[in-house]
Amino acid sequence: MLINFFFTLRAAKLKVSVKEYLMLLEAVQAGVIDGEAGPTVDDFYYLARTSLVKDESQFDKFDKAFAAYFKGVELLADFTKDIPLEWLKKKLELELTPEERALVEKMGWDELMETLKKRFEEQKERHEGGNKMIGTGGTSPFGAYGYNPQGIRIGQDKSRNKSAVKVWDQRQFKDYDDNLELGTRNIKVALRRLRRFAREGAADELDLDDTIRSTAANAGWLDLKMVPERHNKVKVLLLMDVGGTMDEHIHRVEEVFSAAKAEFKHLEFYYFHNCVYDYMWKNNRRRYSEKFSTWDILRKYNKDYKLIFVGDATMSPYEILQPGGSVEYNNEEAGAEWLQRLTNAFPKYAWINPEPQGVWGYRQSIAIVQQLMNHRMFPLTLQGLEGAMRLLSK
């Protein structure tokens, strides 16, 4: 029955063996996932992933193949959350003209947070449309699939207007694939401007010129001369924005990530979302359980590291300037404080932005980040990468 599922996984370049596939079938037949209410798609997903995937780095490929094969299968919704999901079911997406958008007023930070508390106390049922309550398709600053210049997004699968101040959901982000086969070598060539070679380690590489010279001086008796292998001694600390508006740039950032891992022997990387705060992470699936304190990162790496940010810098200005401004939790210190600490700790730094340079002037948050980076922001283009590498190599 699941033979086509097996072929779908193989087509996604997952190394799934027949033995593992048969083991999955045996587990299903044995009723491993039979609960009181019967098996669910979620139950089968976890069983299949446990049985068939041997490496966590392949989880993303498995997720895509699973979604492609089981597309359209209904999942059992959990309506036990603090905000009832039936209030937020998508029925329509509000589209307004520029003139209508100009009429929708936005609240300040304190007013927005205080108003949200009041709405939780007042609201007893689902709302659709309107400009006040938590709902869908209206101009309220709380809810999904509507429009407000800035608000709190609740129950929406992805960003639409890129203007949310906070996001109610606990979202799952995917790691960037560092094994991506690049379609062009141009990115690698641009990154090579930052290389600085030195011979380090054990003497295990033949020095042909010195061997010939020594052999000739030794009356023809072979005298082998060895030297340490040449390595790129440049150290890079790569901090990458992930999730939200960065989903539009996944492929290009993966290209940069792949090229960087190939070119720099001393590469350390971490993820953040929108702006750097008091912690970062290395694995997006374990981002809540395996956090790395930004203070510890500042202490761990010395100023010899070149600091490279990769992100679109597209967010609410509150996320950069306001304590508690993170869309996901109440950070004690503003993101601007952490960006300044990082740039002070690593004197050679640059920000690579995948957003087209033509839109930078229309995004207030990009202008703020540019100022914090002392205008060391470069577009994710061949010319932009070459400019960033030249700056970092000085």
Query: Residue 296 CA to chain centroid, in angstroms?
Result: 21
Place of tokens 């300044």: 340
Q: Is the pLDDT of residue 97 over 70?
A: no
Q: Extract the tokens encoding 168.
A: 């109610």
Cβ pair 24, 2 in contact under 8 A: yes
Q: Is the pLDDT of residue 260 over 80?
A: yes
Distance CA 140, CA 142 (A): 5
Q: Is the pLDDT of residue 218 over 90?
A: no
CATH number (1.10.3470, 3.90.550, 3.40.50, 3.30.70) of 186-192+233-393 reads 3.40.50
**pTM, to two decimals:** 0.54
pLDDT category of residue 312 using cuts at 50, 70 and 90: very high
Q: State pLDDT tens for residues 334-378.
A: 999 999 999 999 999 999 999 998 899 888 999 999 999 999 999
Place of tokens 């993820």: 271
How many CB atoms sit inside 10 A of residue 153's CB? 25
* Residue-level pLDDT at 379: 92
Distance CA 118, CA 135 (A): 15
Q: CA 367, 368, 373, 374 torsion: positive or negative?
A: positive
161 backbone dihedrals φ, ψ, rounded to 5° = -105, -5
DSSP code string of 287-351 = TTTS-EEHHHHHHHS-TTSEEEEE----S-THHHHSTT--SSS--SS-HHHHHHHHHHH-SSEEE
Distance CA 23, CA 3 (A): 13
- Radius of gyration over every alpha carbon of the chain, rounded to an integer in angstroms: 26
Considering 40-54, 100-114, 301-315, the range whose residues carry the highest mean pLDDT is: 301-315
Q: Is the pLDDT of residue 8 over 70?
A: yes
Query: Residue 51 CA to chain centroid, in angstroms?
Result: 27
State the chain's mean pLDDT as an integer: 77
Instruction: Please give the residue that has the higher pLDDT: either 245 or 149.
Output: 245
Q: State pLDDT tens for residues 104-126.
A: 456 565 666 666 566 656 665 55
Place of tokens 């370049």: 13
273 backbone dihedrals φ, ψ, rounded to 5° = -120, 115
Average pLDDT over residues 75-97: 48
pLDDT category of residue 309 using cuts at 50, 70 and 90: very high
* Residue-level pLDDT at 98: 63
Sequence ranges of the domains in the chain: 3-69, 85-167, 186-192+233-393, 197-231
Q: State pLDDT tens for residues 191-212.
A: 777 765 444 556 667 778 888 8
Q: Is the pLDDT of residue 164 over 90?
A: no
